[in-house]
Amino acid sequence: MDQIAADMFPSSHIPYQVIFARMCAALMFGALIGFEREAKSRPAGLKTHMLVSLAACTFSIISLESVYMKGFFDQRVQIDPLRVVEAVTAGVAFLAAGTIILSRGRVQGLTTGSSLWLAGAIGLALGFGHWIIAVFAAGSAFFVLTVVGWLSAVTRTDAAADVDPKAIGQQEAGDTGKGSR
């Protein structure tokens, strides 16, 4: 029974309090980005961004801890934590690509895809212990998604003021007016 307990609670190079703080921060920062996506009813919202950030954080912590595992490596085996970064980047890119669609000649989901990719990077940053980078990235993402997104919407609305309102209604319904006469 002692062996099972020892296996469940191994010694850790990073104190468990720090690990849990990093993981909680990954959840919070992922939520910050995901909340904005959720508010705009995007396909990947609050839960998705939180899970991507938490997963990336977990992978990076496991990567760091694996370097210090006793009895697991000898002189022939070396660990490269950067491979985890590459794997997480590729995995999140696959998820992000799934949110990008082509519908009626328009590409949609690019912002959601890129925000997922960033949530992964924030999780990696936290997992590796780079809190300042993660805070700045999450704050920057929130700024881009909210403030820049709002400015972009205002600019589009002003540009659309010169357009016939019936044409706007047709565009929102997905009808470009071609062949509908």
Where is average pLDDT lowest: 67-81, 96-110, 113-127, 137-151?
67-81
The CA-atom distances, in angstroms, between 54 and each of 17, 163, 181 are 16, 45, 52
Q: Does residue 90 surpass a pLDDT of 50? A: yes
Mean model confidence pLDDT for the chain: 78
**Domain annotation covers residue 6:** yes
Q: Quote the pLDDT of residue 178.
A: 45
Rounded distance between C-alpha atoms, residue 155 and residue 162, angstroms? 12
The CA-atom distances, in angstroms, between 136 and each of 121, 141, 142, 152, 175 are 12, 8, 10, 22, 41
Q: Quote the pLDDT of residue 168.
A: 46
**Domain annotation covers residue 178:** no
Q: What is the count of structural domains for the chain?
A: 1
Decide: 30 and 52 in contact? Cβ < 8 Å: yes
Q: Does residue 137 surpass a pLDDT of 80? A: yes
- The structure's pTM equals 0.63
Q: Three-state DSSP class for 99? A: coil
Domain of residue 118: give its range.
2-172
- What is the arithmetic mean of pLDDT over 96-100? 82
**Domain annotation covers residue 179:** no
The closest alpha carbon to 135, from 28, 20, 19, 18, belongs to 28
**Domain annotation covers residue 58:** yes
**Domain annotation covers residue 181:** no
**Domain annotation covers residue 177:** no
Q: Which residues pair with 106 in a beta bridge?
A: 103
Q: Does residue 32 surpass a pLDDT of 70? A: yes
How many other CB atoms are there within 10 angstroms of residue 72's CB atom?
10
- What is the arithmetic mean of pLDDT over 22-26? 93
**Domain annotation covers residue 131:** yes
